[in-house]
């Protein structure tokens, strides 16, 4: 049986921003950022099968997201057009990452589709080419394409590999979602944090410039963060609303998870400096090359 007749499963991992500094704003309105991205061994799962009719079908629509606005569909059509392929895809997603949480779920989904279909359609685009395509879909897409933890600059596209400690994290989401756009257009958002040199980064001395603004406007985030810091170093990821708390052991993370209020979504996951997706892609490419 040809590999094109099978569904293949691909992880679409979450990310954390271990800090997020806003160091300026460009003339086009985009913010200049400095952050460290690290992946989690936790995320959505995409199942993808090639079809011969050139149609891109998302068989599991996401509630509240129009298919034409879904980054999964956008990514597939972008690659299809850029590579000028006549094949299509049947796509399913098991969506477990919360929307509006700052975990990069949509960007991760887009990157997974680009990487998976690049292999399945045999487009032979490089990671750099895919990252450039992905950047048009979202500033976080390139780090998921390259698949290594990184110090990111610019709007998030200038990546320098970095290897932070692979801790266990309790990730908690209060009962609210936060618009990234609303955070970045807020007049009282700090935009002048001094720039870092990658060789001088001390993650524990860094912070999230969006956090003060968010806790000022979202009491749910403020209350949960105040509760969590009593148990472990805790900080908001991205523009929120998720908060990550660092633990040395999985058992201790799970213990604190068990104490959380019932209305708080949460999970415990190990950090990893290599995206779980890339191991799956390596295996898939071996399968394709053997046929």
For residue 137, give both structure tokens. 């879909």
What SS3 class is residue 58? strand
165 is catalytic: no
User: In this predicted structure, what is the pLDDT of residue 156?
Assistant: 87
d(CA 256, CA 229): 11
Residues with Cβ within 8 Å of 179's Cβ and at least 6 positions away in sequence, in order, are 100, 239
User: In this predicted structure, what is the pLDDT of residue 128?
Assistant: 97
d(CA 241, CA 23): 21
Which of 95, 140, 173, 209 is the catalytic position? Answer: 140
175 is catalytic: no
Q: Are 120 and 50 in contact, with CB atoms under 8 Å apart?
A: yes
d(CA 110, CA 13): 11
Which of 15, 49, 95, 173 is the catalytic position? Answer: 15
User: In this predicted structure, what is the pLDDT of residue 278?
Assistant: 95
Residues with Cβ within 8 Å of 194's Cβ and at least 6 positions away in sequence, in order, are 23
User: In this predicted structure, what is the pLDDT of residue 4?
Assistant: 72
Pairing of strands 88-94, 56-58: parallel
Q: List helix spans (H) across the chain.
A: 71-83, 105-120, 127-135, 141-146, 180-185, 211-217, 219-228, 250-259, 276-289
Exposure of 13 in the CB half-sphere (CA atoms within 13 A): 27
User: In this predicted structure, what is the pLDDT of residue 64?
Assistant: 83
Q: Each residue's pLDDT tens digit in the chain (291 positions)?
A: 467 779 999 999 999 999 999 999 998 888 999 999 999 999 999 999 999 999 999 999 888 888 888 999 999 999 999 999 999 999 999 999 988 889 999 999 999 999 999 999 999 999 999 999 999 999 999 999 999 999 999 988 899 999 999 999 999 999 998 988 899 999 999 999 999 998 889 999 999 999 999 999 999 999 999 999 999 999 999 999 999 999 999 999 999 999 999 889 999 999 999 999 999 999 988 888 887
User: In this predicted structure, what is the pLDDT of residue 90?
Assistant: 97
Please report the domains of the chain, with CATH numbers, ordered by start residue: 1-291 (3.30.230.10)
- How many Å from the N-terminal Cα to the C-terminal Cα in the chain? 9
Q: Are 253 and 168 in contact, with CB atoms under 8 Å apart?
A: yes
User: In this predicted structure, what is the pLDDT of residue 66?
Assistant: 87
Q: Are 256 and 264 in contact, with CB atoms under 8 Å apart?
A: no
């Amino acid at each position: 049986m040809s590999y094109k007749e099978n569904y293949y499963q691909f992880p679409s991992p979450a990310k954390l921003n271990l800090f997020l500094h806003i160091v300026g704003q460009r003339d086009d309105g985009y913010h200049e950022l400095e952050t460290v991205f690290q992946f989690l061994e936790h995320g959505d799962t995409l199942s993808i099968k090639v079809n011969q009719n050139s149609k891109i079908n998302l068989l599991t629509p996401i509630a509240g997201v129009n298919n034409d606005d879904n980054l999964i569909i956008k990514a597939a059509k972008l690659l299809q057009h850029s590579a000028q392929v006549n094949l299509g895809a049947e796509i399913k997603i098991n969506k477990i990452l919360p929307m509006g949480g700052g975990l990069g779920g949509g960007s991760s989904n887009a990157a997974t589709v680009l990487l998976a279909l690049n292999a399945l359609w045999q487009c032979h685009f490089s990671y750099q080419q895919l990252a450039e395509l992905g950047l048009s879909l979202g500033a976080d897409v390139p780090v998921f394409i390259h698949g290594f933890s990184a110090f990111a600059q610019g709007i998030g596209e200038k990546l320098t590999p970095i290897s932070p400690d692979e801790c266990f994290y309790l990730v908690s989401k209060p009962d609210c979602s936060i618009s990234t756009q609303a955070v970045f257009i807020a007049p009282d958002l700090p935009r002048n944090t001094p720039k870092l040199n990658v060789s001088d980064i001390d993650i524990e001395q860094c912070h999230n410039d969006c956090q003060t603004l968010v806790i000022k406007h979202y009491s749910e985030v403020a209350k949960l963060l105040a509760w969590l810091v009593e148990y472990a170093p805790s900080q908001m990821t991205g523009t929120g609303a998720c908060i990550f708390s660092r633990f040395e052991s999985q058992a201790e993370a799970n213990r604190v998870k068990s104490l959380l209020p019932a209305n708080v979504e949460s999970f415990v996951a190990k950090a990893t400096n290599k995206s779980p997706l890339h191991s799956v892609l390596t295996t898939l490419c071996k399968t394709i090359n053997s046929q």
